[in-house]
Structures are given as C-alpha cells and as structure tokens.
Amino acid sequence: MSTAETQNLHPDLQQGHSSDISASHSAVVLWLYLCCAMILVMAVIGAITRLTESGLSIMEWAPLSGAIPPLSQTEWERLFSLYKTIPEYQQINRGMELEEFKSIFWWEYFHRLWGRLIGLVFAVPLAVFWIRQQLPGWIKPHLLFLLALGGLQGAIGWYMVASGFADRTDVSQYRLTLHLMMAVGIYCYIFWLALKLGANSTTGASSNALGSWSAILVAAILLTMTSGAFVAGLNAGLIYNTFPLMEGQMIPPSYSDGSPWFINSFENIAAVQFHHRVLATATGLLAIGLGLLVLLKGRSRKVRIAGVLVALASVGQVKLGIMTLLLVVPVGLAAAHQAGALIFLTTALYLLFQLKYSR
C-alpha cells in the first residue's frame, strides 16, 4: 500500500491495515466474532429463561461462588425455601415440588453461567493479545471500555432480577428492557470493532444517501427491539393473537386506557403490542426497500450482497414474529424470534459498514 493510500484511510483504520499486519490481527478478529456469537446465544438462553418463568429461581447474587451449582440435598432445600418467600411462588407456583423448582433453576443457572463464560472468553484472550502486542493502539481503549460494560451488564442483570422479589410476580419491564438493550449495545460495539479491524481494504468513511438510509434502518431495528423488550416484559404477546388486525380492529379499544397518556407506551399491554406491530412492519418494509435499492445501485459486490441479506433477514424476522403471535408465543419460536432480531440487526450493521467504508 502506498503512502498516499495509507493517508486516505479512516483514522481508526490507519494502524495495522497493511496486508501483513492485517494477517497478524486475524486471531483478534475471530475472537471478537466469537464473543458476538456467544452474546447471540446468550440472548436465546435469556429468552428461554424468561419464557419458562425461570428468572426468579435464584435469589442470591454470588458472581464467583454462584458458578458452583447445588451439590447436596440440603443446599437444594435451602434455595427452594428462599424461592418460596417471593410473590411468584406464593401467587403463581404455590405447591410446586422440588423437582419442578429444579427445572426452572437450571435455566437461570445456565443463563448466569453463560454470562460468566462470556466474561472469561473476553477477558483472558484480551490479556493474552495485549501482552503479545497483537492489538493495534486504536482498539485498546475500546476493549477496556467493553470489559467495564460487561461487568456493568452483570450488575444490571441482578438489578433486573431483584425487581421481582418483593411486590410483583415478575421482573420490571423497564429493567428487562435495560438489560436486553445493554446486551444488544455491547454486541453492536464488538461487531463493529471486528468489522473495522478486519477491513484491510478500506477508504475513508464516506457519506451518501444509501449510507444515511442504512443508518436509519439500524436505528429503526434498535427501536423495534426496544419495543419488543416491553412486549416480553409485559407478556403482551399472549393477547390479541391475530394479524394484521387486533381482534377485528386496527387499533385495540384499550389502547389509551392508561393515564397519563404517555404511560401507555410502557405499561398498557394493548398499546405496547400495537406499537411493536407498527414498528416491526415499518422497519421490515424499510429494510426490503433499502435492500432492493442497494441491489440496483450498490457500487460493489459486497454492498449488493449485504443489501440482499438485509432484505432476506427482514422477511424472515417478520414471519417469525407473526407466527410467534398467532401460535400464542411458543417457547421455541419466541426464542428464535429474539435470535432473528439480532441477526437482522447484524445484516443492517454489515450493510452500513460496507456503504460507509468499502471501496
């Protein structure tokens, strides 16, 4: 690469992007993609944990000792007795046997264990790459910040779970949304860093209409995912199980029952589901339109492929959402719908990157 070409690189991409240096970073790129894959799996495990009403089964936050599961009958009895003190048991699961408690315990335990594993898979290779000087200077502060965000996410997870111990039979939809969207934000952050580090044939960031629309699509997906988190937190998918109308009406009659009016978007089940439907439909149409436009006007093969992927992902995700609703939220489909949202977001981020940084 000539000096002139190097100077034209985006500042974050200048260091370490000759072909030789880029090859030495391939292990780092693969590590970042592995972390993304593990977060995606974590989202699916979290969805199953929520859908099986397992999230309140562990009443203690022990970041280190909590990695060891119950090893004796006495310990199982102690944990079960703690669970019996909360409203979820007293109002919903009263009379549950120990074996039934174990079935929900293991989902929450695996959810927390997978979170610990993500932390190890991120922190240990980070230290190794750092010591071996395999990390370009520009990425180091980003990775340290991500390490701190991972610790914060664990604390937010406990903050969410604790909301279900006293006055309600489930966790707060506000805290659940915060926990999910924090995970999504970390996922996006890592994925974008992996794209930048792996892009050994890039020019400076460019501004164009397609790139702007792609950024709007990413924002729309994030907004739709946020609304979906409120749907999950309120179990809003268990009502109005028809599509496109909501029991024969475009807007449900109880849409504006909440007071003050703005609270409907966060606490009125009918309004929350309606908003998610509208946002999901609009986002899907935007993705299909943008994908077709990119296919026609994309300046490179990578860009056109990215456009096709976005359109296909949007169609698949909308279909999953409708099926999940019509079948009254079966666990498998609902978990696939959450995974589909992250996959859809991934294709949109990839398209945005290709439009802004590829030749």
Look up residue 137 and give its DSSP letter: G
Q: Residue 62 domain-assigned?
A: yes
**pLDDT tens track for 207-239:** 688 999 999 999 999 999 999 999 999 999 999
Same structural domain, 23 and 91? yes
Mean pLDDT of the chain: 91
Q: Of 204, 231, 259, which residue is a domain's last?
A: 204
Interval 262-309: pLDDT, tens? 999 999 999 999 999 999 999 999 999 999 999 988 778 899 999 999
Judged against a pLDDT cut of 60, whether residue 19 lies above it is answered with: no
Could you tell me what percent of the chain has a pLDDT over 90? 84
Tell me whether residue 127 is exposed, middle or buried, using C-beta atoms within 10 angstroms of its C-beta: 0 to 12, 13 to 18, 19 or more. exposed
Domain range for 246: 206-359
Find where tokens 């993304």 sit: 36
In 199-268, alpha helices (H): 209-233, 264-267
Same domain, 156 and 180: yes
Give tens-digit pLDDT for 318-347. 999 999 999 999 999 999 999 999 999 999
- Provide the 3-class DSSP secondary structure of residue 317: helix
Residue 3 located in a structural domain: no
Total domains present in the chain: 2
Q: What is the pLDDT of residue 2?
A: 42
Residues 21 and 111 in one domain: yes
Minimal CA–CA distance to 181: which of 212, 148, 215, 219?
219
Same domain? For 282 and 300 the reply is yes
Examine the fold and report which residue of 172, 204, 236 is the final residue of a domain before the chain moves on.
204
Q: Is the pLDDT of residue 7 over 80?
A: no
Question: Quick one: average pLDDT of 82-107?
Answer: 96
Same domain, yes or no, for 234 and 142? no
Is residue 172 domain-shared with residue 192, that is, in the same domain? yes
CA distance 1 to 258: 62
Question: Are 60 and 151 in the same domain?
Answer: yes
> Is 50 domain-assigned?
yes
| 89's tokens | 């048991």
pTM of the model: 0.91
The span from the CA of 33 to the CA of 42, in Å, is 14
